[in-house]
């Protein structure tokens, strides 16, 4: 059964670095892991001039690239609204865990990634979907959420396994 958990924090908090260190820990525990990353800007995963890039630039709605090593599907929105998280999750193959980076305003369960040097406010006081914290400093007094150090990957893996929601809890209609 696929379970889902998000990682939310301000830019520069270390979400990507954390996930790249956390994935091998979870895999060593026997978990299959996929990730879903939100980007706040236009992005390309293809190289200008390559055939698949040229197909997309020519107006193809979808371009699927396949090789013996991997396949990737690019879908152009062409002015349509950005897909919601449940729709994106529906495109993913079943795994034990889907780790979501970004989508911090969505109501799925999240671990807040906080770095004091950023000088940004904590997210948890205004986001009831934050269930735990990974930070390089302890949260303010009175915070009842579980907290582990930002570099305690085993501890963060424990939080992921304890708090991740079943996929159906994230994808069911509101």
In this structure, the dihedral spanned by the alpha carbons of residues 86, 168, 122 and 153, taken in order and rounded to 10 degrees, is -110
> Has residue 143 got a pLDDT over 70?
yes
Helix axes 153-163, 15-28, angle to 10 degrees: 80
The dihedral through the CA atoms of 100, 165, 81, 103 has a sign that is negative
pTM of the model: 0.89
pLDDT tens, residue by residue, 50-96: 888 888 888 888 888 888 888 888 888 888 898 899 999 998 999 99
Instruction: Give the residue extent of every domain in the chain.
Output: 3-41+82-169
Rg of the chain, C-alpha, whole Å: 18
Cα 13 from Cα 110, distance rounded (Å): 15
Q: Please, how many CA atoms are within 13 Å of residue 92, restricted to the half-sphere of its CB?
A: 23
Given 3.90.1640.10, 3.40.50.300, 3.10.20.30, 2.30.30.180, which CATH number is that of 3-41+82-169? Answer: 3.40.50.300
Question: What is each CA distance from 173 to 2, 57, 85, 87, 170, in whole angstroms?
Answer: 18, 34, 11, 11, 8
Confidence (pLDDT) at 47: 79
pLDDT tens, residue by residue, 4-35: 999 999 999 999 999 999 999 999 999 999 99
């Amino acid at each position: 059964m696929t379970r889902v958990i998000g990682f939310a924090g301000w830019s520069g908090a270390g979400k990507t670095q954390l996930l790249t260190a956390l994935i091998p820990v979870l895999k060593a525990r026997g978990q299959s892991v996929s990730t879903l990353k939100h980007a706040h800007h236009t992005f390309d995963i293809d190289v200008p001039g390559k055939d698949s890039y040229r197909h997309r630039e020519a107006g193809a709605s979808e371009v699927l690239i396949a090789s013996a090593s991997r396949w990737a599907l690019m879908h152009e929105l062409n002015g349509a609204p950005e897909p919601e998280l449940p729709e994106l999750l529906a495109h993913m193959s079943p795994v034990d865990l889907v780790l979501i980076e970004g989508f911090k305003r969505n109501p799925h369960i999240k671990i807040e990634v906080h770095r004091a040097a950023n000088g940004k406010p904590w997210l948890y006081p205004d986001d009831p979907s934050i269930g735990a914290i990974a930070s390089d400093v302890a949260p303010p007094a009175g915070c009842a959420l579980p907290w582990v150090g930002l570099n305690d990957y085993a501890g963060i893996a424990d939080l992921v396994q304890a708090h991740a929601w079943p996929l159906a809890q994230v994808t069911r209609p509101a």
